[in-house]
Structure 1
Amino acid sequence: MSQQQAQIDAVESLLIALLKNNQMSFVSHKVFDDAHSRIMSEDGPPGTSEKTAAADYLGHLKTLL
């Protein structure tokens, strides 16, 4: 596993743990909506296929909650 993939896995695990926390669960929906908006904006990935892939993966993360 590459160092970059290990970092991504760690950040993903941290995010899911935070969002599953009872104190954070009330904002989880808004967080995902905001993240999706950011992905689709000019601040997100550069191309259409990259934006779509990122949005699809965000949807996957949402299902983990």
Structure 2
Amino acid sequence: MDEIILELDGANMDIDFLPKTKLGWKQAQCPWNKADGTNSHKCAVKNTSICKYFRGIIKEDVVLCAYKK
């Protein structure tokens, strides 16, 4: 099937890397939460905010995050 990829603005979503129990897949840890020793950083909070370090999503579940060198 031929297809085109569309970039759609304004998604209303929740994305975070907070530790969860009984998760059915391997999950990375937010580097900002790890450095700060907190769980305050969340990529996107539905109806609320988008993290200033959030840079997008690629593939099906890979989040792009800006982090200091």
TM-score (normalised: structure 2): 0.23
Q: Which structure has more helix as a fraction of its residues?
A: 1
Higher relative contact order (CA 8 A, sep 6+): 1
Q: Which has the larger radius of gyration?
A: 2
Q: Which structure has more strand as a fraction of its residues?
A: 2
TM-score (normalised: structure 1): 0.24
